[in-house]
Structure 1
Amino acid sequence: MRELLTRIISGIAMILIALGAAVVGGYYFAVLVAAAATAMFYEWMRIVRGWGIHWAIGGFLYALLPSIALLWIRDRSGDHGLSLLLWAFIVTWATDIGAYFVGRSFGKRKLAPSISPGKTIEGLWGGVAAAAIFGGAWVLATGLGKPLLLLAPLFAVAAQGGDLFESKLKRRAGVKDSGSILPGHGGVLDRLDGLVPVAVLTFAAQVLGLA
């Protein structure tokens, strides 16, 4: 119970910081994104130490691309940039929270036991459902592009795929968390692994006129 409380309090604090920087935008959001990208790359390099230069290059792109996507969405998407950015956050957070609580409460069938034994198929569907509900509600409330109603559950699957990808890296490296800077959550990479694909895919949706 104490661990769960720590996780919740820490999670709320991170959400408030992200929302505050997103709403203010400009320099403040750029600094937050740059700091997060730097921390992600640092933790990535700790995980893949000794794996070869291609892993270092991959880690650089892994941190850079979603950072550029988030900044573009916020500042280059016209009047609905903030709403679209918050949609990406909502889909990612809803996926994570829905998967966590549904998995803990009802999870029985393992999703990928060789990669992440704690994740379940029930948790996956819980995350998809939460993203569809809350992401869809945000679309309807803000007037974003209707295709996002269909993209929310798909992006939720991508978010959980990002989570599994990072879990596979950690399992290969023999570490439990990417870091310990975030109480109850591990490292920055642990917390943002789902946002990486969602940010890039949301950017793509905006460029294609789907948002």
Structure 2
Amino acid sequence: MTRKDRWSDLNVRLISAGVMIVLGIIAVWLGGVPFTVAIWVLGGAMVWELSRMLGGQAWAPGMGVVASLALALAWLLPVWLALPVLIAVACFGAWQIAERRILFGAFAAAILLACYATLLLRIEAGMAWLLWVVCVVVATDVAGYVAGRALGGPKLWPAISPKKTWSGTVAGWLAAGVMGAGFGIFLGEGTGLMLLSVVLSVAGQAGDIWESWIKRRVGVKDSSNLIPGHGGVLDRFDAMLGATLLAGALWLFGLLPGII
């Protein structure tokens, strides 16, 4: 790969990323109904993409709508009841396909639970904690992309994600640690968030790799073409799924520092 090829998609990626960042900041800042509805829509879009990839093209739009409605219903229920409802919807979707049922059910459940966790973090834990998760994931992604393209080197897992390198992976961890230190100072936690941010970064990378593995298994490059330069919604938010699942679980069990 030539140096020009390495950066050929950068302009499109930056423009799309800029639009998403602006819209994301507005939604997170507003909170309430705008943010909640946005998460419902994103969750439905990701389940729609997953359904298409795993062979359910005929019922994918319907499953996307069902996923959005399930998130809306779950938000009206107490947590102890909302989580089983979301898992049940994922199982219902798995029942609709002839093969890869376990894979669909597991990933669809991860999508729905991560979306629910995102709502909890913004509305219950507070905007600063959701911004921490988002910034850690973005810092990991940007540092990994730049270091991987600039430095290259040994591949992280070429059979699953051929573009990811160890240099990009480690750069992502370092960027996450720096971001965690900054948020730790801002939130009055000192540098205590540094290590947790690195763990969050690893969880995000795991979500990215899981989605990449699914795409390799079904033979597709992107989950869809909804976002220019980034592929589909899942391609852009796969890392966020892993990170918010972890952060949401920590919040539910009272393990996030500074949040009782």
Give TM-score, length-normalised by structure 2. 0.76
Between the two proteins, the alignment pairs up a number of residues equal to 208
CA distance in 1, matches of 2:177, 2:200: 9
- Give per-residue Cα distances to partners, 1:29-75, cap 9 Å, x unaligned: 11111111001101111111153433332233122100110111111
2:19 to 2, 13, 21: 13
2:166 to 121, 140, 156: 121
Which 5+ residue runs of structure 2 have no aligned equivalent? 1-6, 56-97
Which 5+ residue runs of structure 1 have no aligned equivalent? none
SS of residue paired to 1:117: strand
CA distance in 2, matches of 1:56, 1:210: 30
CA distance in 2, matches of 1:147, 1:134: 12
Give TM-score, length-normalised by structure 1. 0.93
CA distance in 2, matches of 1:45, 1:142: 39
The equivalent of 1:171 in structure 2 is 216
Distance 1:161 1:59, change over 3 A: closer
Contact 1:70–1:203 at 8 Å: present in 2 too? yes
Identity, in percent, stands at: 38
Question: What is the aligned-residue RMSD (CA, Å)?
Answer: 1.6
- Give per-residue Cα distances to partners, 1:106-140, cap 9 Å, x unaligned: 12111001111111000000111111112321221
Q: Within 5 Å, which residues of 2 pair with 1:136-175?
A: 136-144=181-189, 147-175=192-220
CA distance in 2, matches of 1:53, 1:177: 20
CA distance in 1, matches of 2:189, 2:46: 30
2:137 to 92, 97, 101: 92
Larger Rg: 2
The equivalent of 1:22 in structure 2 is 28
SS of residue paired to 1:179: coil
Higher RCO structure, 1 or 2 (CA under 8 Å, sep 6+):
1
